[in-house]
Amino acid sequence: MKYKLMVIDDSIHQRADSYRDVLTTSDFELVIVKSAEELEQCFSTTPVDGYLVDVILNTGSWQKYGNAGSLFSRLGPPPRRAPVFLVSMNWGEPETIQTLNTINQIRDLEVLRYLVWPDFIKAGRLDNNPDLVALRGKLFDDLSIWHQRSSFRPEDDENIRILILADLQYGDPHTSSNAAFSEQWVSRVLRKDDLMPDILIIAGDIGFSGTATEYREAKKRLEENLLNELWAASALDNMRERVLMVPGNHDVNLRYLACNGYKWERDKMKWALLEPSTQDKKVADDTFSLEAFRQFAVATNGSKAWDDGEVSSHLDRRFEGCGLRFYLLNSSRYTSLNNPKRVEFGSEDLEAISRSLGSSDNPKDFINIVVSHHGIQTGASSEQIADWENVGKQFFMMNHVGIWVFGHYHKEKFSVEDIGSNKLNLVQAPTLRIAPGESICRGFTLIDMKRTDGVVVGGEVRFYRLDASGAPLGEPVCNQLVI
């Protein structure tokens, strides 16, 4: 997997060959910008993984900017957030120091490294010399850490296993009286069958009412009773990157959400109720109602997306190195007090994901997996995703989504649907902890992907059931993935 770097330098005609000498490898792809006009045309439409920028930009068409600080202040947001590497001939010059002061005040702009231009010249003189290896390694490692790319690299013919839990709903009064050891049963069954998972997905409804107390219980039980037993306590910190999650409707704290229904009238010194239409407009910008979930997600897997304070849908690219892409979609983002059962992906969020990939992206290079809390059920009339037909389905087709993992319905189900020319495997995960009802059996799910020469060629979806006592019930129900 290559990192795409955009090179911005007002002396690019003299320096382009040196940049190419250093960074033309299997690890990097360069987008060399030749003029300020070209940058203005491509900046907002060309997603990259990093920017390599000359600090002082004061010749030719670049004079309108003068320096990197002015450039990033005036260009606006890129299609995908990416870090910056700054290059200078002399970091001690007053103009350079002033530019750094400007850059440090730009919100969401993160500089990873300050590079000296002579290092590029020295490194590029002889292939594979120590200076060249060191410079390439610094840039690659910095980008890998910033983008949180996983170090997980299975052998080419080694299976990838994904454990799926859903609807844990810690704090729910309807929790089964036999759920005390549910997490431990999961780890023991998989250990007994020598099917240790490589990745864990939690498909929403981790809490019951979105309170901090519920997530403290979730973190304790999941770490002590499941993750420590699966991956060993000593290795847990290194394995946190393997945990992916999305919120569900029970993760929305409705008491916090109620704040969207009021405004503070300073002159009257009192709260005033907003009109319902105004309340709904505020829902999409709300992050506080999912704050407890967000903090749990950051503490559990250190996700940069959740750590930035966002609760929107996003693309998780950390496993692209082993051929997997995960689209984490928040189907409860537009929940409101006026419509607490509102289920919607939201075109704005999905369009932002598409822009972050760019028109040159080839989704067929990956196994594309969507994770959400809500899904679709053939013939169901309630709690369907409102914008599935007009927004969701188009997004799935465009990104060649092959597997959709979701929960919410508390019972297992597997089917394969035709979405355009694509085959879509729908994996509906059962609840692990909620008391079973009619036609509902508690359990967990394992996707076992078979790989040949590094490519997923098939696999199984296994539903493990727990009986009335909470213990495993016989052999798993197996379904074949269609790839």
Q: How far apart are CA 86 and CA 97, in angstroms?
A: 12
CATH class of 3-146: alpha beta
Task: Name the CATH superfamily housing domain 160-480.
Answer: Metallo-dependent phosphatases (3.60.21.10)
Residue range 451-467, pLDDT digits in tens: 999 999 999 999 999 88
426 forms beta bridges with 404, 415
Could you tell me the pLDDT band of residue 345, with boundaries at 50, 70 and 90? very high
> Where are the strands (E) in 346-442, listed by range?
367-371, 401-406, 413-419, 422-428
Sheet holding 324-328, edge to edge: 314-316, 324-328, 367-371, 401-406, 422-428, 413-419
Which residue, among 433, 402, 408, 409, has the nearest Cα to 330 in the 3D structure?
A: 408
Residue range 144-175, pLDDT digits in tens: 999 999 989 999 999 999 999 999 999 999 99
Residue 247: how many CB atoms within 10 A of its CB?
A: 31
Q: How far apart are CA 331 and CA 344, in angstroms?
A: 5
Mean pLDDT of 317-341: 89
CB 479 within 8 A of CB 448: no
The full set of domain ranges for the chain reads 3-146, 160-480
Q: What is the DSSP letter of 196?
A: -
CA distance from start to end of the chain: 22
Is 107 in a helix, a strand, or coil? Answer: coil
Residue range 31-49, pLDDT digits in tens: 999 999 999 999 999 999 9
What is the SS3 assignment for 374-408? CCCCCCCCCCCCCCHHHHHHHHHHHCCEEEEEECC
The pTM assigned to this predicted structure is 0.91
Mean pLDDT of 383-410: 93
Mean pLDDT of 226-251: 89
CB burial class (10 A; 0-12, 13-18, 19+) of residue 35?
Answer: middle
> Where are the strands (E) in 44-198, listed by range?
50-54, 56-57, 66-67, 84-88, 111-116, 160-165
Could you tell me the pLDDT band of residue 255, with boundaries at 50, 70 and 90? confident
Please tell me which residue, 379 or 94, carries the higher pLDDT value: 94
Residue range 266-306, pLDDT digits in tens: 888 887 877 665 555 545 556 678 889 999 999 999 888 88
Q: Look-up: residue for tokens 């016989």?
A: 474
CB 337 within 8 A of CB 277: no
CB 94 within 8 A of CB 117: no
CB burial class (10 A; 0-12, 13-18, 19+) of residue 86?
Answer: buried
**pLDDT of res. 381:** 47
DSSP calls for 342-359: -----HHHHHHHHHHH-T
Residue 415 has pLDDT above 50, yes or no: yes
b/e 411-420 (16+ beta carbons within 10 angstroms → b): bbbbeeeebe
Mean pLDDT of 409-415: 94
**pLDDT of res. 265:** 80
Strands 477-480 and 455-465: antiparallel
**In terms of residues, how long is the chain?**
483
**pLDDT of res. 270:** 82
Residue range 58-93, pLDDT digits in tens: 999 999 999 999 999 888 889 999 999 999 988 988
Q: What is the DSSP letter of 330?
A: -
What is the average pLDDT value for the chain, to the nearest integer? 89
